[in-house]
Amino acid sequence: MDINQAEMRVKELHQLLNKYGYEYYVLDNPSIPDSEYDALLNELIQLEEQFPALKTNDSPSQRIGGDILDVFSKVQHQRPMLSLGNAFNEADLRDFDRKVHSAVGEDFSYVCELKIDGLAVSLRYENGLFEQGATRGDGTIGEDITANLKTIRSIPLRLNQPVSLEVRGEAFMPKKSFEALNKLKDENGEEPFANPRNAAAGSLRQLDPRIASSRNLDIYLYAIGDVGETGVQSHSEGLDLLDTLGFKTNKERKKCLTIEEVLQYIEGWQEKRPHLPYEIDGIVIKVNGLAQQEQLGTTAKSPRWAIAYKFPAEEVVTKLIDIELSVGRTGVLTPTALLEPVKVAGTTVRRASLHNEDLIREKDIKIGDSVVVKKAGDIIPEVVNVLVERRTGEEIEFNMPTVCPECESELVRLEGEVALRCINPKCPAQIREGLIHFVSRNAMNIDGLGERVISQLFLEKLIEDVADLYKLTFEQLIQLERMGEKSVNNLLQAIEASKQNSLEKLLFGLGIRHVGAKAAKTIAMEFKHMKELREATKEQLLAINEIGDKMADAIVTFFEQEEVSELLQELEASGVNMAYTGPLPVASEEVDSSFAGKTIVLTGKLEQLSRNDAKEHIEMLGGKITGSVSKKTDLVIAGEDAGSKLTKAEQLEIEIWDENRLMEELKNKGVLKE
């Protein structure tokens, strides 16, 4: 066979294998036996080995598993993957329905879908070919798991049409696959996975794609990331388009005209839930019309047009063996119940937070009690109540200590608080937890410095405060357990890179009481440099929106401490940036920019800015970004390869800018530096 004949046969095999794979993995209706499919796949593999030039990224052979990865690279989502707000009862759903009615009127419908208990992912296609897949991550930045996602056979490598789009879905492990995997782990003497969700997440984060391939994962696609170029007008139309393109969607979805129909749908699936071949933990309810979704908008964390109804938590009885105490980074003493291991909602639970002494007294909890345990929201274990009637008289009353279990300093209860607190700034537990917070994603975001490594460094007395992180050497780190040369070099590079973070990252990382990530950014934008913030008075702080008495007092008190002054001097001497380097807000008298009060659409690929940065800059100058072009659109900013949005803007004679005009405006208004 020459290469021309081989090329024709390879194309034929692609078509056949894609057709048979779609029938088997998406339609669940195979037309040929497995043995014939395997024979065709083997033929393709042999041809690709004989003629390597014929092997393409969309070949069915590429699902077997590629090369082993060193690490997952970061991926910025073109549009944020927001999490959903939760509803736990009928009252929550009716309240959601009331808010939707209030915002959009009476003429709308809902789409109800099963909430698959898996891992949210995004898939990006260019001209119909699967290019990249990523985890949800923090909603803005995920991890590139393309090689692992290719092993899921229900994900098409080539679509039925040569379209470019990004879609979202839930990757999951079917119950049969989960049972088979845990049986194999048990036979090998390995710790089994707690539930299918953990198994799916663990499989997709394997550095060796062959492991993911062996786990038999599946996926349901539930949304198009940006429907602007598709002409889709509703969520249900979007799901139908996904079907047409060759994606696997969940056919159990239902369009509901009223909240009563939604409640009936939920009730029905609560009964049928155990009989599904996969795990679900609730129902997702979405407003169907995309224009109405846009009208409802989003909060910082979740859309106002969708909600997830969580099934009632399973409750079980177990014995409370003991109560353990831990000290957090703010000195708060938290009691934790140690339980006889018990299965709750698919996972083995051994611990449950008791929050504080008042809760222990309120629920009359004693060591040795039989207690009812559930998972709040199917996630966090909690003690619901005590079965007093089962007491034998041997139960032991629990009393909180008067001194810190870590440093033996006297514990105090601050006015207006229920928690006991250690206020010793040298308490080792607080220092350790503070270090873990400092390196976390929303703070300095130092890759490779997880809780295990921080604990090792602390125990080895290599670090005592956050300034010590910037003094670590290769010779010190290479001595730690499970730290090879490559890991050490990567960690040192990550520590060095963190020095360039903008002020708000450092401010949040310092762990000032009441100052969260959002407040840290607001404060950093206002004062612009750590020096100015350290000299700020309470009155200056209170003049800033979102800052109240408690936060202002906490900030002033924090910077009055001599230890803090010394710490900041050490950090600055190590080269840690003390200035705000993000986009600056424009003074109110200057919000007469070309964006102020206008509805603006971004389309196409921007070369000089990310889509998120452009959106943030425009909003700071008073503009409102929307996803689709209509008669209400005032301005369209078109990058490279702008598609139907640009065409529609031209038809409606809407003002159009290119990226250079955008950059010029941002620089003129001081949002970007020249």
pLDDT tens figures, 454-498 = 989 988 889 988 999 999 999 999 988 888 899 899 999 999 999
CATH number for the domain harbouring residue 545: 1.10.150.20
Residues 198, 140 share a domain:
yes
- The pLDDT assigned to 268 comes to 93
Residues 436, 403 share a domain:
no
- Residue 488 domain flag: yes
Element (H, E) at 114: strand 110-116
Spell 150-163 as b/e; 16+ CB within 10 A means b.
Answer: bbbbbbbbbbeeee
- Residue 620 domain flag: yes
- Residue 80 domain flag: no
CA distance 349 to 401: 26
Residues 131, 252 share a domain:
yes
Residues 417, 433 share a domain:
no
Residues 394, 287 share a domain:
no
CA distance 263 to 268: 9
Instruction: Tell the residue number behind the tokens 């089962």, with chain if given.
Output: 390
- The pLDDT assigned to 591 comes to 57
Residues 98, 192 share a domain:
yes
CATH number for the domain harbouring residue 11: 1.10.287.610
Q: How is residue 589 written in tokens? A: 């008298």
CA distance 118 to 222: 13
Q: Which domain holds residue 433?
A: 428-498
pLDDT above 70 for 187: no
130 phi/psi in degrees, rounded to 5: -70, 115
- Residue 579 domain flag: no
Residues 368, 321 share a domain:
yes
Residues 549, 635 share a domain:
no
Lowest mean pLDDT among 83-97, 313-327, 523-537, 658-672: 658-672
pLDDT tens for 66-75 read: 555 566 788 8
- Residue 583 domain flag: no
pLDDT above 60 for 93: yes
Average pLDDT, the chain: 87
- Residue 433 domain flag: yes
Last residue of a domain, one of 498, 522, 539: 498
Residues 44, 109 share a domain:
no
Last residue of a domain, one of 421, 448, 479: 421
Q: Which residues are catalytic?
A: 115
Largest interatomic CA distance in the chain: 87
CATH number for the domain harbouring residue 622: 3.40.50.10190
CA distance 424 to 407: 8
- Residue 410 domain flag: yes
- The pLDDT assigned to 237 comes to 95
Domain count along the chain? 6
Residues 641, 549 share a domain:
no
pLDDT above 80 for 504: yes
Tell me the sheet residues that pair with 316.
Answer: 373
Q: What percentage of the chain carries pLDDT values higher than 90?
A: 46
CA distance 198 to 178: 10
- Residue 75 domain flag: no
Residues 299, 186 share a domain:
yes
pLDDT band at 154 (very low <50, low <70, confident <90, very high): very high
pTM: 0.54
Residues 664, 563 share a domain:
no
- The pLDDT assigned to 589 comes to 47
pLDDT above 80 for 314: no
Specify whether the CB–CB gap between 295 and 103 falls below 8 A. Answer: yes
